[in-house]
Amino acid sequence: MRRSAVFLLILVSLLGTLLAACGTSEPEALPTRIPVALLPAADTAVPPTITPTATPTPDYSPTPGPSPTPSNTPTITPSPTHTPIPSATPTSRPQFAPTLVVTEPTLREGAATPATAVPTPVPTFEVPGGTTNVLLLGADEPLGSAGQKSDTILIVSINRDGPTASMISIPRDLYVYLPGSTMAKITVASQLGGVELLKQTILYNFGIPIHYYARVDFQGFQNVVDAIGGVDVAVNCEFTDWRLKSPELDIEDPDNWELYTLAPGIYDMDGELALWYARSRLRSSDFDRGRRQQQLLRALLNQGVDLGLVAQVPTLWSTYQDSVETDMDIGRILQLAALAPDIRANGVQNLYLAGKTTPWGVPTEDGGALSAQLPIWEGPGMMEETFARLFRPPTLSRAARAPITVEVVNATGNPDMARLAAENLAWYGFVPVLSDGVPETTENVATTITFYGPNFKGSYEWLMAWIMHKTTAEIQLNTEEAFAFNYRVILGADYDPCVNQLYSP
């Protein structure tokens, strides 16, 4: 077996089984590489080719980044039969008890007085029983490199009693207090004091105790995508950023770069394109990059679980455990892996910190300013409320309620629009089913939404309206007909798949 494939097995067991839900889907549906869309066997429409466009290069020297080779035609590959994880409970050390004692705010010896006051520690959240908090880190340097920054920081909280999972992205430019050190961007915490300082930083500033961590470098991420033959990603909003015109070109030459655009559609991404999509932020923001990273993790890791790779990890762990840096033992990994099918059914909650910070310039010695973000902890919808949601189940978790099913009828003339709509609906917990029916005409058809029931109680019509760019008053109520699904959505020519997930209700 190739080393990259073995690396995938280990990574999926560490991370994929923690995030094994890609939204909700009916268990009897055929698995797909976009697991949120339920594709009926009768659906034989061929997706159109999506051609990313190159925009003329303006006079600008971008920060060099990885260069992808796009795969423009979506490809859906049926997944092989899933190999179940053995039912026996794996043996593991007792779960690590995270540090709950917050240090007093002091500066390291010789540290300059910060330009902002050191904040007081936030209250530590009470972690529900049966919960495991895992810190996921991505690095732009190989594992084991000295002074390694954390370019990607995510917290995943798994509730084994649900089971459910939530994850939140921590922007690398958050300007916070590093306990016992100084005020700095959170990305340098691991550089100054390793993972332990990063854990303490998260506890001090956000009140989240961390049980375990797992880290992978970006080359490893690219290898994972290529090892499984690519990953299908739903790009629901047009995305443009800088890329090399060709992978072999000199990254230091600004003439070798161009603006690269992904139009809305379904993309079968190889490792290079997936890494570019996950890392780019020059034309967007670190917040949006975090959203795309969560999207890729859910798609990639769910696919790894569907391919039955997790069950193979134990026999390979002792030989290839150096591929991922973690403080979890194999028993703990397998215990969490056993939760994957149920977490997948119940859903994952995705949380972000966009709109919960204040832009700020950190003064530099030359009189300039370093761009950073100051956290806003208190207030309606701010960080305190967002981090509290980390320990709550997803809004439409099927662990606590019956699924809300949605028939999606495509009258747009573009097969990808139905897949994108299904992706958006499933992201928030609805259960979409793509209809194999075709409207008699697709000309001048407007998007309509109908709910079937005696009233809107329990329908989450406010969430449906937000996802579909409608008002609740525009959702029709049908109390007369019996229907196989809770909702029927007809996508018309006016349908826009672009949903700003960073600011979801």
pLDDT in the model for residue 215: 87
Query: How confident is residue 173, by pLDDT bands cut at 50, 70 and 90?
Result: very high
Q: How far apart are CA 329 and CA 339, in angstroms?
A: 16
Query: How confident is residue 92, by pLDDT bands cut at 50, 70 and 90?
Result: low
Least confident of 40-49, 298-307, 315-324: 40-49
Task: Compute the average pLDDT of residues 218-236.
Answer: 84
pLDDT of 443-459, one tens digit each? 778 999 999 999 999 99
Asked whether residue 455 is domain-assigned, the answer is: yes
Detail the DSSP E strand segments found in 231-389.
Answer: 231-235, 239-244, 257-262, 265-269, 325-326, 348-351, 357-363, 369-375
Are 173 and 112 in a shared domain? yes
DSSP secondary structure letter of residue 174: B
Q: How far apart are CA 346 and CA 396, in angstroms?
A: 8
pLDDT in the model for residue 424: 96
pLDDT in the model for residue 98: 66
φ and ψ of 319, to 5 deg: -85, -35
Cis geometry, peptide bond prior to residue 163 (ω within 30 degrees of 0): yes
Determine how β-strand 182-185 pairs with β-strand 175-178: antiparallel
Task: Compute the average pLDDT of residues 430-439.
Answer: 87
φ and ψ of 409, to 5 deg: -105, 125
Q: Give yes or no for residue 307 having a pLDDT over 80.
A: no
Are 185 and 146 in a shared domain? yes
Region of 425 please: left (phi>0), alpha (psi -120 to 50) or beta: alpha
Global pTM? 0.79
pLDDT in the model for residue 144: 63
Are 254 and 353 in a shared domain? yes
Query: How confident is residue 49, by pLDDT bands cut at 50, 70 and 90?
Result: very low
Asked whether residue 36 is domain-assigned, the answer is: yes
Q: Give yes or no for residue 276 having a pLDDT over 80.
A: yes
Alpha helices by DSSP H, listed for 307-338, are: 313-320, 330-337
Of 391, 418, 453, at which residue does a domain stop? 391
φ and ψ of 446, to 5 deg: -95, 150
Asked whether residue 75 is domain-assigned, the answer is: yes
Percent of the chain with pLDDT over 90: 49
Are 15 and 162 in a shared domain? yes
Q: Are 268 and 73 in contact (CB under 8 A)?
A: yes
Q: Give yes or no for residue 229 having a pLDDT over 90.
A: no
Are 269 and 352 in a shared domain? yes
Are 24 and 170 in a shared domain? yes
Determine how β-strand 164-169 pairs with β-strand 152-159: antiparallel
Are 367 and 411 in a shared domain? no
pLDDT in the model for residue 103: 64
pLDDT in the model for residue 82: 41
More reliable by pLDDT, 366 or 38? 366
Structure tokens that stand for 29 in this block: 């549906």
Are 158 and 128 in a shared domain? yes
Structure tokens that stand for 391 in this block: 């320990």
- For the stretch 73-98, what's the b/e string if a residue is b when 16 or more beta carbons lie within 10 angstroms of its beta carbon? ebebeebeeeeebeeeebeeeeebeb
Q: What Cα–Cα distance (Å) separates residue 360 from each residue in 226, 281, 376?
A: 39, 18, 12
Q: How many domains does the chain have?
A: 2
Are 242 and 322 in a shared domain? yes
- The residues, any chain, with a CB within 8 Å of residue 498's CB and separated by 6 or more, are 236, 237, 238, 264
Are 369 and 447 in a shared domain? no
Of 327, 356, 391, at which residue does a domain stop? 391
Are 419 and 351 in a shared domain? no
What is the CATH number for 354?
Answer: 3.40.630.190
pLDDT of 144-156, one tens digit each? 665 567 788 999 9
Asked whether residue 400 is domain-assigned, the answer is: no
Average pLDDT score, the chain: 79
Q: How far apart are CA 200 and CA 110, in angstroms?
A: 21
φ and ψ of 55, to 5 deg: -100, 140
What is the CATH number for 469?
Answer: 3.30.70.2390
Q: Give yes or no for residue 99 having a pLDDT over 50.
A: yes
Please tell me whether residue 198 adopts helix, strand or coil conformation. Answer: helix
Q: Which domain holds residue 486?
A: 405-503
Please tell me whether residue 240 adopts helix, strand or coil conformation. Answer: strand
Greatest C-alpha distance within the chain? 75
Q: How far apart are CA 324 and CA 315, in angstroms?
A: 16
Q: How many helices (H) and strands (E) does the chain have?
A: 11, 20
Asked whether residue 125 is domain-assigned, the answer is: yes
pLDDT in the model for residue 142: 64
Output the CA torsion 450→453→455→460 (10° steps).
-60
pLDDT of 455-493, one tens digit each? 999 999 999 999 999 999 999 999 998 899 999 999 999
Residues for the chain: how many in total? 505
